[in-house]
Chain A
């Protein structure tokens, strides 16, 4: 039945493409999470009235974040080709998509992290200081745990955006379901392939959303 409904679909290829998409998404989500939290923390801590208040550093990070957040992703990929070639050695395949994915998503997530941290009651930070906490204790035991639900729901949104980005990256040769849908589906006019690829991307997005919502509700004790 499957073969009659989807005459042009080669399931092995679909499987391989799905794995590529999952690989790109997973690696870039992990890297974005780490990098975004780092940048978000810096943005928060150097802002006015905070522990490392520093207008210059805050300004530099903020403009970096704003610039990379504003560049349309498809253009960012092209702009980053020399950089990608330098660190990955190629501009084709799943690994070649990673620098652009991470650089595109991390600033986006960093802003979410900053907002999540700003939501924390200033009084709680003051209380920790009054107890004699060091800055690293405040970061690890106050800021991150208190903001965790927002950090998780933020990374969920970012991960879903990243799935979309991997599809775009696919068009310029990064592999994955986007690549498959474009080359095998669109360009050869095999609508069934496009359809299957789209459904699989939707499934991935729904799974991410479900996991994100589940984890957020588990850790949110407010």
Chain B
């Protein structure tokens, strides 16, 4: 659906050129929810704007639904854009228009006749769950409702692609979740390809099929979300994964625990998919002559299965501990023995 080949975007600034997007190659399948994560300034905003031609690549090719977004202009570009919906962090609604009128706006642009327009607006209001708020102005809506209007507006012309520019970054956690649920629902129901950029790993974890991690304009890591969660390679990816798997104080707490348990070993177990649901601890205690102490644990749900991290303390004879660790490894669980500070 979307292919970026060797795309570079350079901004000319007084202080010298800034490379916002640096030789990026991406391929996004039809119907996929693709996430791009990075800190601010990583180039993800520029990247997503290349997809609908709001920015033109300095070099490279941006193909969306068979059209070269970097080359086309004028009417062709405007028509291509009608096939690509976009939602924004700050919603960008017209405050002078009601909910209905805001949703009707892209239909007016596309030249849809009034009667059909009204019908379509009603459908969209149903789709995003805004019944009863049709005649409200944006200033009378909550953040979540505004983003629902944004989504309805973006879907008005039955686009093939939906671009989400930090769509949940201005919302509280609960509202974020309801908007994410809506996006997944739309993705399933309409088979829409969704590309989203965010700095929150939570968003990636919850709805994305695949993720690309951006740093300094480059895509430094890319893959299935579950895979990236299990084996993050780059330091930046590890930090993002930690955002959702480990509470912030974990590192310190673990160091503290290592001091408190001079005997035995502290191990970090990483469960992915079905392994997270097996009664591993029970087996461990029954089969080995060990004291097993659960120090901390967390299981996160991703779009394709669960992912969990568990810190345990094993105490007993050294050989027994080694055998137990080997047993755990056999269960498709990643094991990392934390170094004792001594």
Chain A residues in the interface with B (C-beta under 8 A)? 121, 123-124, 126-134, 137, 141-142, 145-146, 148, 219, 221-222
Contacts and interface: CB of A to CB of B under 8 A. Distances in A.
A134 B106 CA distance: 11
Contacts of B52: 130
A121 B96 CA distance: 12
A146 B95 contact: yes
Contact of B95 (A129, A130, A222): A222
Interface in B39-84: 52, 54, 77-82, 84
B81 A132 contact: yes
Contacts of B110: 132
**A121, A130, A133, A222 — which one has the most chain B CB atoms within 10 A of its CB?**
A130
Interface of B: 52, 54, 77-82, 84, 86, 88, 90, 92-97, 105-106, 108-110, 137-139, 153, 157, 163
Contact of A129 (B54, B97, B153): B54
B82 A221 contact: no
A123 B45 CA distance: 13
B78 A124 contact: no
Contacts of A219: 96
Given A121-B92, A221-B95, A221-B137, A127 B109 contact: no
Contacts of B77: 132
Q: Is the interface of B mostly helix, strand, loop or mixed?
A: mixed
Given A132-B79, A132-B81, A123 B92 contact: yes
Q: Is the interface of A mostly helix, strand, loop or mixed?
A: helix
Contacts of B97: 145
A140 B82 CA distance: 19
B92 A133 contact: no
A209 to B, nearest CB: 23
Contacts of A132: 77-82, 106, 109-110
B78 A148 contact: no
A131 B110 CA distance: 9
Contact of A131 (B96, B109, B137): B109
A85 to B, nearest CB: 44
A127 B92 contact: yes
A124 B94 CA distance: 7
A3 B108 CA distance: 62
Given A131-B82, A132-B82, A141-B105, 15 more contacts: A123-B88, A123-B92, A128-B109, A130-B54, A130-B86, A131-B109, A132-B77, A132-B81, A132-B110, A134-B78, A146-B94, A146-B95, A146-B96, A221-B95, A221-B137
